[in-house]
Structures are given as structure tokens and as C-alpha cells.
Amino acid sequence: MAYTVLARRYRSGTFDEVIGQEHIAKTLKKAITSGRIAHAYLFCGTRGTGKTSTARILAKCLNCLSFDAPTPTPCNKCDSCIAIGRGDDIDVIEVDAASNTG
């Protein structure tokens, strides 16, 4: 059995599973529900605060193939959701500024 960091093994898959950043999850869900999605979002903060997890959940909500429009609850089963969860979706570009300086 391969070793996996707990944060990756138990990474949140929906906004309802987010812990410690509920106010951010609620704000993003409301933006999706009301159809007022901004053209860009910047996730910043200290290490371990859920930036990547929250960004991937938002990407799933906007790109989920199980729904015709953005949804606040992605299926986490379609090809798009699975690829975004792995971090290798062709339509989602993830920039890690801490690792990609210069």
C-alpha cells in the first residue's frame, strides 16, 4: 500500500465537506447558485488552509459534466470531476506560485 499524505487522502470533494473555511465555501456556493461567478478568483493564505482543495471544488462545480450549468454540488464521478480531483484536467490550469517562482 502506497503512502499518501492524510490531507490528500481526505481532501474535501464538495463545499459541504470543507472544514475551517465554511464562510468561503458558503460565499462560493452562493455565487454559483445566483449565477454571479467572477471571471477570476485568487486563493491565497498560509500553507494548509485549503486553498488548493477549495479551488479544485470550484473548478469541479463549474466544469461538472453531469449538469448543464454550473452547480454548487459536483458529482465527483464524471470524467471532468475525476481529472480535476487528480489535478490533470486539460481545461483547468492550476498555478502553484510557491513552487513556480521567478
Residues, the chain, total? 102
Please determine, for residue 48, whether its predicted confidence score (pLDDT) is greater than 90. Answer: no
Q: Is residue 97 part of a domain?
A: no
Domain around 24: 6-86
Q: Is 66:60 a contact under the CB 8 Å cutoff?
A: no
**pLDDT of 99:** 74
Q: pLDDT digit string (tens) for 62-99?
A: 999 999 999 999 999 999 999 999 989 999 988 877 77
Q: Is residue 98 part of a domain?
A: no
Q: Is residue 77 part of a domain?
A: yes
Mean pLDDT score across all residues of the chain: 89
Q: Is residue 101 part of a domain?
A: no
Q: Is residue 22 part of a domain?
A: yes
Orientation angle between helical segments 79-86 and 51-63, nearest 10 degrees: 160
Report if pTM > 0.85.
yes
**Structural domains counted in the chain:** 1
- Measured CA to CA, the distance from residue 86 to residue 90 in angstroms comes to 11
Residue 70 CA: distances (Å) to CA of 34, 36, 38, 43: 10, 11, 13, 20
